[in-house]
Amino acid sequence: MNNQTHTDNQAPRPRVEKTESEWREQLTPAQYDVLRSKGTERAFTGKYFDEKRDGTYRCAGCGAELFSSETKFDSGTGWPSFTEPADRTNVVLEDDYSYGMHRIEVNCAACGGHLGHVFPDGPGETGERFCINSCSLELDASEH
């Protein structure tokens, strides 16, 4: 496939591509709002902010491995928070100037889905706090 519409200064082409109607069919309305419309779920309403099980958090859009429960911490913000991604190449960080603020947006590298934001006030060695919407995640809980 030789698609010339892509220029060098754009983000890498997502590996998972679907039409908007395909995404609407696959995702719940809440997931669609976050992943495809860059929405933010209300704090303390998501299914994972207080999740304590071990496992791997995958992208709700495409299943890519995004975060490990080992890096999850209770930030008190009401959103699932992680000190770092499971694999840095699985997320893409982008400047976000919406709402009159400068924030760093976190997107899934594979499907381009919006996950949340990263802030420089994390408690771990990285000093980062990945503030992620529950809606964009699916926990693959490990068996014990």
CA–CA dist 62, 113 (Å, integer): 9
Q: Smallest gap, in angstroms, from Cβ of residue 39 to Zn ion?
A: 16
Q: Say which of 62, 108, 131, 135 is annotated catalytic.
A: 131
**Residue 62 among the catalytic residues:** no
Our CB check for Zn ion shows the closer of 22 and 50 to be: 22
Max distance between CA atoms of the chain, in angstroms, equals 49
Nearer to Zn ion, 66 or 131 (CB): 66
The secondary structure of 88-134 as a DSSP string is GGGEEEEEE-GGG--EEEEEETTT--EEEEEES--SSTT--EEEE-G
| Continuous H helices in the chain | 20-26, 29-35
Of 50 and 94, nearer to Zn ion (C-beta) is 94
Q: Residue 49 or residue 57: which is nearer to Zn ion going by CB? A: 57
CB of 109 to Zn ion, least distance (A): 8
Q: Rule CB under 5 A: which residues touch Zn ion?
A: 59, 61-62, 64, 108, 110-111, 113
Distance in angstroms (rounded) separating the CA atoms of residues 127 and 109: 22
**In whole angstroms, how close is the CB of 14 to Zn ion at the nearest point?**
8
Any idea which residues carry the catalytic annotation?
A: 131
